[in-house]
């Protein structure tokens, strides 16, 4: 199947997860990273206290999550924009998918992704830098291997380099006239310059890094770079690999 790649802003979305088992809880945890407006969890079997204890023990408290121990009814989909069928019953998931389709609500089928409207791909999340990977169902094992290779490659330099761009971008916007900004951004991202900068960050040669930046950036920007922020470019921060 050929998928259309898409990143969603779910901060204004009300979401519904049908099911409360381990797989459902992992979906909820991943969804929470995108800060949706609300996540409603419905399951007829698991008592609310047991769900809350299991979820909060694994992922911590989050006020966006609410739980209902009862059967699903179509009225639950009012104002819902995104749904997940995550029960251990193929029949229940199928019925839920059908109702979501009738109500024009995108639904992911956890146990059989091809039955739903979208998949949640393997992804690498480095704050501002996100990669989503899919083999279109051909080989999940290959996707997993590719994700591991890509993670090792990106961490060698691209994540610290992106942190540097996060520091420089507001300084350029505030201190460089508009017509010159695009040229500066292109120069910073140019292959040879980018690789030199990444090598200096990797070696923690921050004084040389400062001099290198001064070759491209005007003094009005260079003078405002915070040296403490520069020394934190190689900070050890665990990435989210899902």
Q: Return the pLDDT at 240.
A: 54
Asked if residue 239 and residue 129 are part of one domain, the reply reads yes
Token digits of residue 125: 């999340």
Give the helix ranges, DSSP H, for the chain: 22-32, 48-59, 90-102, 140-155, 158-175, 178-189, 191-202, 206-214, 219-222, 227-231
Taking only the tens place, the pLDDT of each residue in 128-141 is 889 999 988 788 88
| Last residue of one domain, picked from the residues 120, 135, 161 | 120
Write down how long the chain is. Answer: 242
Mean pLDDT, residues 200-226 taken together: 93
Taking only the tens place, the pLDDT of each residue in 135-167 is 887 888 899 999 999 998 888 789 899 999 999
Q: Return the pLDDT at 72.
A: 96
Asked if residue 115 and residue 139 are part of one domain, the reply reads no
Asked if residue 205 and residue 143 are part of one domain, the reply reads yes
Residues 6+ apart with CB under 8 A from 191: none
pLDDT band at residue 126 using 50, 70 and 90 as cut-offs: confident
CA 111 to centroid of chain Cα atoms: 21
Asked if residue 132 and residue 103 are part of one domain, the reply reads no
Asked if residue 156 and residue 113 are part of one domain, the reply reads no
Q: Return the pLDDT at 242.
A: 56
Residue span of the structural domain in which 98 resides = 1-120
Number of domains observed in the structure of the chain: 2
Instruction: Give the CATH number, domain containing residue 102.
Output: 3.40.50.720
Residue 236: is its pLDDT beyond 60?
no
Instruction: Give bridge partners of residue 18 from the DSSP assignment.
Output: 42, 85
Asked if residue 200 and residue 166 are part of one domain, the reply reads yes
Asked if residue 115 and residue 2 are part of one domain, the reply reads yes
At 77 the three-state DSSP class reads helix
Token digits of residue 202: 């990797």
Contact by Cβ (8 Å): 17, 84: yes
Asked if residue 129 and residue 113 are part of one domain, the reply reads no
């Amino acid at each position: 199947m050929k998928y259309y790649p898409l990143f969603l802003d779910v901060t204004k979305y009300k979401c519904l997860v049908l099911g409360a088992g381990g797989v459902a809880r992992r979906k909820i945890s991943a969804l929470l990273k995108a800060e949706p407006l609300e996540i409603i969890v419905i399951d007829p079997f698991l008592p609310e206290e047991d769900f809350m204890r299991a979820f909060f023990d694994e992922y911590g408290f989050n006020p966006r999550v609410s739980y209902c121990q009862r059967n699903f009814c179509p009225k639950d989909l009012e104002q819902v924009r995104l749904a997940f069928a995550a029960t251990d019953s193929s029949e229940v998931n199928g019925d839920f998918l059908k109702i979501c389709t009738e109500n024009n609500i995108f639904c992911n089928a956890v146990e059989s992704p091809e039955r739903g409207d979208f998949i949640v791909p393997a992804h690498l999340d480095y704050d501002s830098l996100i990669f989503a990977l899919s083999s279109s169902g051909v080989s999940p094992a290959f996707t997993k291997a590719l994700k591991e290779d890509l993670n090792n490659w990106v961490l060698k330099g691209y994540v610290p380099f992106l942190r540097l761009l996060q520091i420089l971008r507001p300084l350029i916007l505030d201190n460089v006239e508009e017509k010159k900004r695009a040229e500066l951004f292109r120069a910073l991202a140019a292959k040879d310059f980018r690789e030199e900068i990444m090598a200096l960050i990797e070696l923690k040669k921050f004084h040389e890094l400062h001099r290198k930046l001064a070759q491209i950036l005007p003094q009005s920007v260079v003078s405002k770079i915070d040296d403490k922020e520069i020394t934190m470019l190689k900070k050890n921060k665990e990435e989210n690999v899902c």
